[in-house]
Structure 1
Amino acid sequence: MIKRTVYLLLCAIVLSFGNTVKADEGMWIPMLIGKNYEQMKKQGFKLTAKDLYNANGSSLKDAIVHFGGFCTGEIVSDKGLIFTNHHCGYDAIASNSTPQNNILDNGFYAKNYGEEKPINGLFVRFLQRMEDVTAKVNEATKGLKGAEKESKMLQVFETIAKAAVTGPTIEANVKDFYKSNQFILFVYERFDDVRLVGAPPQNIGKFGGDTDNWEWPRQTGDFSVFRVYAAKNNAPAKYSVENVPYKPKKFLPVSIKGVKNGDFSIVYGYPGRTDRYLTSYGVDMATEKVNPTIVKLRDIRLKAWKAEMDKDVSLRLKLSSKYAQIANYWKYFIGQTEQLKRLKVSDNKRKEEKSFTEWAAQKTEFAGLMEQYDQIYKDYDPIAVQRTYINEGFLASGWVSNAITIGRSWAAMEQKKGDENFAGQVKTSVNQAIATYGETYNEAADKKIFAQILAAFYNDVPVKSQPKFYAALAEKYWTGNPETTFQKYADYLWENSKLIRPEKLKAFMATNPSLETIKEDPGYKYAVNLYPPDYIKTNFGSAVADFETKKAELDHLYLKAVLEKNAGKLMYPDANSTMRLSYGNVQDYPPKDGMVYKTTTTIEGVMQKYIPGDSEFDLPANLIENYNKKNFGQYGNDGTLTVGFITNNDITGGNSGSPVINGNGELIGLAFDGNWEAMSGDIAFDKKFKRTICVDVRYVLWCIDVLGGAKNIISELDIRKK
């Protein structure tokens, strides 16, 4: 077992080494938040540590849900009402929209339970408890290294999680922290009946579009409303008309008192991934190779889709969710690269690594770590761009993934000949994938994307490193330049393959083709080369596996060393999609010399940005009407209406929809974005500029109440004015 002193250090939730702990930095593990409690009280928190996390009673953590596994939501009524972001509910909203009933553009608020819309496949999870299982994992993997240790670790995770599952609606997993230096078990209760209750028109919910994304000042009403349902005994249940609104252990009261600079704030949620212990070698690879490639490939998709979406409302509705997902991180990677360079993060890390190397020289276990990092990145560098092309480029064409799935599924059926049940399941799954593919298919855009990505690959990857199948295609269809070459190849595939055009694909699959027939299709002959594990093995040999295995070993040792070097300091682990809490304050900031961005934006700012008919800055007529009348109801203040505010809380992707909570445990807003000046945040936290952009709960309620007329929703809430 690990020594008690090290154990206590590991349980003390993390800050990047070499820096003084600052309250606004850190995504802290709620189970261990007691170590931060005194600092939180000094900053304005008025409740107890048990009010934050209590495995044996109700606490704030019981009002927080993991929304669909990709966002956060909060329970705001005793009838299971959930607030989250508009962009978190976007797919649910868009998928329930048609040209005849366009709730994405026009908005929607259910006036009773019967009008609430079931969302197939959407779920929420409530965290029941956490348990440190480090000793169990370490004991089971003692003496193992590399792939053998990784395999054993996964087995132990599964065993521990399985023992924690006490029923069909209970889920459990074990997550590693500090690069596998600590392990914690998480146990959840899952609810699968989640229904859409309301959403503003997208020219409120997505006001500002891509232009304002990641920017402050911001005036986006980024919220949507859902409800979790349960069986009549309040237990989780699959969708049924007999289900009733869930009665939660805890829900958040809502404060409409407002915020001011310096007010205490908590963000509670499920941040996705950070990599703040990434070495300078990893930062260089991100800024020089990987990020620019991702941006380039996503830009190809976005431009092709946008050109077609602008022509057809029906297509725009079908592609809106997909477009938004790709656009969000297209801009993210642009900003991250820019800010990492502006902040000289690589240079700063190199200085830290030099100091670390001097300290580690006297430690046999840690000596030479940086030299080993240097070598593995040098070995990996020649394939970094090409590897990025696999998922971001080649598989960006939906038909390619479908073709791979069809081929592999039919091969599996061949191996299980005579198993009609298995064959039925496989065909049902494939047919569902084909139907989903057909919903967003657009020939002009899809064909353009396919050809342009193949041409970009030719320009970005040295000829000597290009795969044999690709080189053969380039030679066969060569016209003198890669652009027309791969357009010619695209024309050939679209005319001759039965796996691309949806109607042709459906007709082909209806014939129940043999595996041999599928393999003869020219589309399949192309796609079969792109199954990621096979592509990597064929073209890179063991290089990728060697890099990842060695990097994991080095990361583990590096973090072990960092913890030892910084013994006694409060530290937090990287985000990993587990429940976290960050605390800080509402706070303005100076983006440039001579400028200060205020903490709040108002409806005046909305009107100043208003551009009639614009796809990003248009507004609903009733918003303009109520603005002109100054009809802000109980939500206004000093003759205006606050729309958004900023705090210095530490967040990342996955925190979308997280509640922003004041010192009294009341909801004051919903976190939905970060700011451009601190886009380096997933790798390097910027203490001066990092801000969380939030939609003010008063704007949310005004939209629901005054614009939406949904008094039924407002009446459920515990609204506090003082």
Structure 2
Amino acid sequence: MKRLITLLLVAAPFLATADEGMWTYDNFPSSRVAKKYGFTPTPAWLEQARLASARLAGGCSASFVSEDGLVMTNHHCAHECIEQLSTAQKDFVKDGFYAKTGADEVKCPEIEVNQLLAITDVTARIQKATAGAEGARFTAAFQAEKAALERECQTDASLRCEVVTLYHGGEYGLYRYRRFQDVRLVFAPEFAIAFFGGDPDNFMFPRYDLDVSFLRVYDGGKPAKTPNHFRWSPAGAKAGELTFVSGHPGRTDRLLTIAQLKELRDFSMPDILQRLAEERGLISGFQLLGPEQKRVSTARLFYTENSVKARRGMFDALRDPAFFGQKVKEEEALRARISKDPAKARRYLPAFDAIAKAQARYEQIRRPYTWLEALGGRPRIGGDLFWIARHLVRGGEERAKPDGERLSDYHQSALPALEQELFSAAPVNLDFEKLRLAFWLTKVRELLGADHPAVKKLLGKESPDEIAQHVVDGTQLRDVAARRKLWDGGAAAIAASADPMVALARLSDADARAIRKVYEDEVEAVEKKNQGLIAEARFAAYGRSTYPDATFTLRLSYGQVKGWREGDREIAPFTTFAGGYERATGRDPFALPPSWITARDHVELATPFDFVTTNDIIGGNSGSPVFDKDLQIVGLVFDGNILSLGGDYGFDEAVNRTVAVDSRALIEALSKIYGATRIVDELRGAPSGAPGRAAAATGAQ
């Protein structure tokens, strides 16, 4: 980590250097690529790459790799689908899955795939709507205009439109997607090879992982036509070769103020790490209860362990004095530049102080906001059934309001994705639900105190375990039809419901809503308004020569296949199948699945397995395609190296590396280990319905 810190951001402040940058497609620096690599991405080239890229709405990247809707992503990105389709009798996580025919492709309960069709700059409209507004007025004006823009754009259910905040409020883009909600599993290898090396090898290199899954998007019950797709490279990547990664990095904080970074370093990050460590221990203990408990909680444990390691790396970067000192110098340089012009100083310098005051206010409300509101969202700390109940309760009230007055989760444009998750037929394990709900209730009591009004409402005279037991046992929300009836019945049905999980969600809702409003009006609105001013100052000082922080929207990075030096060691950019077999011990997490052991004499051991590039990525890029200047797939992103974990706050080309599965490894494994010739033929250009070359499958079925 020390080398990462000392080399970060060595050029002029805020200017992207070397191969740095997660660039939006409408501001990609083609001239920089041409200058360094001798290739100029044209507008037509960029459009083809954009349309061939895809997003899994739940938090990963992907790509279209055939004209018949075949989608390539990581195994860990499709893991929840694979787990949801599994049973105790047929465990696709453990044994893998391969649909030998189109009829065998199975629908994933919750996955939605998005294809970015257009980006429209709507900064002027947002700024006009929010001009002169502060606090609650700013929040209301922003939400109303955001809802209006998305509603105007989203003319039918096949579209998904989102207003995206860029440069933390300096710009706003309207992103228009084609939405696919009929997504089916085509292929997934065994978990043992998709995550070979387990947590010890996570964020490490050399690696030997076949972290891949293939899905297919359907339209009207038939494979969707996707004429814009990446072709397959017959030769794969070479050392020094120019590479591109098109994906959806989730979040970076490279443009935050020092006050915001201090809040993360001193308060938020330590609490996040403690919560993740406790959750990891809880799930690990649950897995010891038996094979079924392990099966239903593997995905959750993977994501938790991954988060622990990633957040620890981010925390280490923030605590490094040299790195943090560099961030301080950057802000001081910008402020000094602003100060030279009295008019700019009056306009922009107060923004830094306003954000600092907002951080102090956030620290006052952080724990109740986090535990009553934020963790009930995507992390679903209290379990899937409580998450469903909260949305049923809120949805009943919010959908009765005009669109622009609703909480953002319930804008008309957001409902199709929400409804797909609410009415998912994915199985729910009641024991795991009890564990998760009791954990949430225990932490709420611990961190807010037994005398907090919200805690008294939630617990009454009972213990967290007692509440979790009778609420989970008594709820009818396991039944999709019961959820649908409550949703369709609206606020009246919710108010009349005697379901104990719904009742628990009702008890928590007023307090959660109240603290959310404080956060949105007194912290988020202040940050957004004043970060917008700082972005304006930065544009005036340095031009548009930099990229916005990641926002889980489509970005394009460029780099090259290249190893790195770590101390006295030179890390080569490629691994091979031979190295994977040598690394295997026969014991988890270094145990190869039986299919690989059986096929050892049939595979070409010199085949490249995984490789690294200098492309700038972050979490959310998992599943991104790695492709060459001819728009041909040469790899599949699945990780970064350990030195990239400070990438949330800066980039160092000397040591930051993207880790990808080599395209040659994918073909070798699909054809010789799994007999998945139907997929191989399709990747090479044959229609999905064409018969594959005969081969005996030794692996996943």
**Is contact 1:289–1:385 with CA below 8 Å preserved after alignment?**
no
Q: Partner of 2:369 in structure 1?
A: 387
What corresponds to 1:292 in structure 2?
270
Match of 2:283 among 305, 326, 343: 305
Per-residue deviation, residues 608-635 of structure 1 (Å, max 9, x unmatched): 3323242x222122312333x2x33xxx
- Give the partner amino acid of 1:501: D
Q: Residues of 2 paired with 1:177 and 1:317: CA distance?
A: 40
* Residue number in structure 1 paired with 2:526: 550
Partner of 1:607: 581
Amino acid at match of 2:163: V
The 5 A counterparts of 1:144-223 are 144-223=133-212
* Alignment partner, residue 489 of structure 1: 463
SS at match of 2:668: helix
The yes-or-no answer on 1:700 pairing with 2:666 is yes
> In structure 2, how many angstroms separate the alpha carbons of the residues matched to 1:127 and 1:613?
43
Contact 2:105 2:185 in 1 (8 A): yes
> Residue 599 of structure 1 contacts residue 647 of structure 1 at CA under 8 Å; is this kept in 2?
yes
Determine if the alignment matches structure 1 residue 642 to structure 2 residue 637.
Answer: no
Distance 1:396 1:52, change over 3 A: same
Rounded to whole Å, the distance in 2 between the matches of 1:157 and 1:407 is 23
Q: Is the 8 A contact 1:536 1:544 kept in 2?
A: no
Distance in 2 separating the partners of 1:293 and 1:544: 21
Deviation at 1:516, TM superposition (A): 8.8
Residue aligning to 1:31: 26
Which residue is equivalent to 2:326? 348
Residue in structure 2 matching 1:333, options 307, 311, 327: 311
| Pair 579,453 (structure 1): closer, same or farther in 2 beyond 3 Å | closer
Kindly state the Cα deviation for residue 142 of structure 1 after the two structures are TM-superposed: 4.2
8 Å Cα contact 2:612-2:657 kept in structure 1? yes
Provide the secondary structure at the position in 1 that maps to 2:348.
coil
Instruction: Pick one of 624, 627, 642 that aligns with 1:658.
Output: 624
What residue number does 1:684 align with? 650
Amino acid at match of 1:570: S
| Contact 1:336 1:679 survives alignment (8 Å) | yes
- The question of 1:112 aligning with 2:101 is answered yes
Structure 2 counterparts to residues 161-560 of structure 1, below 5 A: 161-230=150-219, 237=220, 240=221, 243=222, 245-342=223-320, 344-361=322-339, 362=342, 363-390=345-372, 396-398=381-383, 400-401=386-387, 404=390, 439-442=428-431, 446-447=434-435, 467-468=452-453, 470=455, 489-493=463-467, 497=470, 499-501=471-473, 530-531=508-509, 534-535=511-512, 537=514, 542=518, 545-560=521-536
SS of 1:501's partner is: helix
Q: Go from structure 1 to structure 2 and tell me whether the alpha carbon gap of 1:611 and 1:586 turns closer, same or farther (over 3 Å shift).
A: same
What one-letter code is carried by the residue in structure 2 that aligns with 1:577? F
Q: Which of 572, 584, 590 is the aligned partner of 1:617?
A: 590
Contact 1:434 1:506 in 2 (8 A): no
- Contact 1:601-1:642 within 8 A present in 2 as well: yes
Of residues 516, 535, 539 in structure 2, which corresponds to 1:563? 539
- Counterpart residue identity of residue 658, structure 1: S
3-state DSSP of counterpart to 1:646: strand
2: CA distance, partners of 1:139 / 1:504? 47
Offset at 1:453? 5.9
Partner of 2:489: none
TM-superposed deviation, 1:644? 0.7
Contact 2:99 2:186 in 1 (8 A): yes
Q: Which whole-Å deviations, capped at 9, do the CAs of 1:380-408 have from their partners, x for residues lacking one?
A: 32433443333577862326546656766
Give the conservation status (yes or no) of the 8 Å contact 1:75–1:83: yes
- 2:88 maps to what in 1? 99
Name the structure 1 match of 2:564: 589
| Inter-partner Cα distance in structure 2 for 1:170 and 1:469 | 39
Cα deviation for residue 154 of structure 1 reads 3.5
- 1:673 aligns with one of 598, 616, 639: 639
Q: Is the 8 A contact 1:600 1:644 kept in 2?
A: yes
CA contact (8 A) 1:15 1:572 kept: no
Structure 2 CA distance, aligned partners of 1:520 and 1:46?
Answer: 62
User: Deviations along 1:586-617, whole A, 9 cap, x unmatched?
Assistant: 121223x2223221122233223323242x22
Kindly state the Cα deviation for residue 105 of structure 1 after the two structures are TM-superposed.
1.1
* Contact residue 407 and residue 518 of structure 1 kept, 8 A: no
CA drift of 1:97 comes to 1.5
When residues 366 and 261 of structure 1 are mapped into structure 2, their CA distance, relative to the original with a 3 A threshold, is same
Q: 3-state DSSP class of the match of 2:252? A: coil
Identity %: 25
In the alignment, is residue 122 of structure 1 matched against residue 122 of structure 2?
A: no
Aligned residues: 647
Q: CA deviation at 1:206?
A: 1.8
Aligned partner of 1:289: which letter?
A: F
Query: C-alpha root-mean-square deviation of aligned residues, in Å?
Result: 3.9
Relative to structure 1, is the Cα distance of residues 335 and 192 closer, same or farther in structure 2, using a 3 angstrom cutoff?
A: same
Pair 1:598-2:578 in alignment: no
Q: Structure 1 residue 266: deviation in Å?
A: 0.2
Contact 2:76 2:211 in 1 (8 A): yes
Any stretches of 5+ residues in structure 2 without a counterpart? 1-8, 402-414, 487-491, 687-701
Q: For residues 208 and 430 of structure 1, what CA distance do their matches in structure 2 show? A: 37
Distance 1:152 1:514 in 2: 31
Return the offset for 1:371.
Answer: 3.2
Flag the 1:525–1:77 CA change in 2: closer, same or farther, 3 A.
Answer: closer
* Distance verdict in 2 for CA 1:713–1:410, change over 3 Å: closer
- Gap change, CA 1:406 and 1:551, over 3 Å in 2: closer
Is 2:1 the counterpart of 1:22?
Answer: no
Do the aligned partners of 2:475 and 2:499 also contact (CA within 8 Å) in 1?
no
Deviations 1:352-373 (A, max 9, x none): 2223333333321013433333
The superposition leaves residues 329-359 of structure 1 with CA deviations (integer Å, 9 ceiling, x where unpaired) of 2322122112332364432222222233333
Deviation string for 1:26-81 (max 9, x for gaps)? Answer: 11122333xx2232234446464134323xxxx22221122345222212223222
Q: Secondary structure at the match of 1:668?
A: strand
1:492/1:267 Cα in 2 relative to 1: closer, same or farther (>3 Å)?
closer
Give, in whole Å, the separation in 1 of the partners of 2:442 and 2:581.
44
**Structure 1 partner of 2:689:** none
* CA gap 1:17/1:453 in 2 versus in 1, 3 angstroms: farther
SS at match of 1:442: helix
Residues 62 and 249 in structure 1, CA contact (< 8 A), matched pair in contact too: no
- Asked if 1 retains the 8 angstrom alpha-carbon contact of 2:74 and 2:211, the reply is yes
For 2:570, what is the secondary structure of its paired residue? coil
Structure 1 unmatched ranges of 5 or more: 1-13, 231-236, 416-425, 478-487
Structure-2 separation of matches of 1:95 and 1:37: 42
Residues 1:502 and 1:302: Cα distance change in structure 2 (over 3 Å): farther
